[in-house]
Amino acid sequence: MLSYRHAFHAGNHADVLKHYVLAQMLGYLNQKDKPYWYIDTHAGAGCYQLDSGYAAKNAEYATGIARLWQRQDLPTGLADYVQLVRDLNPDGALKLYPGSPLVARNLLRPADKLRLFELHPTDFPLLEENMRNAGRQALVQKGDGFAGLKALLPPPPRRAVVLIDPPYEDKQDYPRVVTALEDALKRFPTGVYALWYPILQRQELRPMLSQLKALPTKSWLQVSLSVHRPRDDGFGMHGSGLFIVNPPWMLHDELNATLPLLCNTLALDDTASFQLEQLAD
């Protein structure tokens, strides 16, 4: 299914959580000199215009990144993420929002590599254009990221952060992410894997999470953020989460300290909540 366009949701509460956590993980890998790869199975367009086009129709960013945009009292991790967005908007107006490929490109060092997959026929050329300045550091491929991931593991430097981020429009994405992660762990058990998921009123999420927790790994972290109560008609995403295998050791404490502030800032009603769970080695 190729109807999904992330531009409708750019900069919303789910993007804030996902990209804040991604920046934390990449920052941790940057602490060692050895290079690594960033692999994105569903990269999207890479960058999004917030003041026109799809993003402006629902303006979901107004209750996401815009609520953090002008704050000067954020803890270091959140402040660093917001600064990445500010750097993309040097005139001080919030007009552009970086997708995960651009977040990664701005944090990776010269020896690190990006491997990006996108299947959508409209988003792929946009991704190519937005990654053009990365030169040989980035390889952008038009194709199914689930299939492409197999060919890349294990990566030559034996270090990698893998973001698995399908749209979940197709219900088969739920079992596919479990299969993809299970296969990836067989090929490259020491990689850092971050699986993003939406929180919807659908039955597929709970068994997926149970299956992920049963995978043969010594450590994982699950974080989720809900910003409002589910709608009466059953439609819409009221929260999102990340399931991370082999998380950086500091990530749990970082999120434990910042999630209360993030939840209060992005809340749309009094049911907003967060969860943080881990299996530690």
Residue 182 has pLDDT above 60, yes or no: yes
Phi, psi of 80 (to 5 degrees): -65, -40
pLDDT band at 8 (very low <50, low <70, confident <90, very high): confident
Residue 65 has pLDDT above 50, yes or no: yes
Average pLDDT value for residue range 202-229:
95
Residue 4 pLDDT: 55
| Cβ pair 49, 55 in contact under 8 A | yes
Spatial separation of the C-alpha atoms in residues 217 and 266, rounded to whole Å: 32
Burial of residue 34, with CB atoms counted within 10 A of its CB: 0-12 exposed, 13-18 middle, 19 or more buried: exposed
Residue 271 has pLDDT above 60, yes or no: yes
Among all residues, which ones are annotated catalytic?
165
Q: How many CB atoms within 10 Å of residue 82?
A: 20
**What is the model's pTM?**
0.96
Spatial separation of the C-alpha atoms in residues 106 and 23, rounded to whole Å: 10
Residue 279 has pLDDT above 70, yes or no: yes
Average pLDDT value for residue range 112-118:
97
The helix or strand, by DSSP H or E, that contains position 243, with its residue range, turns out to be: strand 239-245
Average pLDDT value for residue range 182-196:
97
Spatial separation of the C-alpha atoms in residues 125 and 44, rounded to whole Å: 10
Mean pLDDT of the chain: 93
DSSP string, 106-142: HH--TT-EEEEEE--TTHHHHHHHHTGGGGGGEEEEE
pLDDT band at 234 (very low <50, low <70, confident <90, very high): low
Judged by average pLDDT, the poorest of 42-46, 97-101, 180-184, 202-206 is: 202-206
Spatial separation of the C-alpha atoms in residues 250 and 4, rounded to whole Å: 34
State both tokens at 88: 């993309």
Residue 1 has pLDDT above 50, yes or no: no
- Residue corresponding to tokens 């993980």: 25
Average pLDDT value for residue range 185-190:
97
pLDDT digits (tens, 9 = 90+) for 74-112: 999 999 999 999 999 999 999 999 999 999 999 999 999
Question: Residue ranges of the domains in the chain?
Answer: 6-279
CA distances from 23 to 29, 50, 117, 154 (A): 10, 21, 19, 22
Residue range 6-279, CATH number: 3.40.50.150
Q: End-to-end CA distance of the chain: give it in Å, rounded.
A: 38
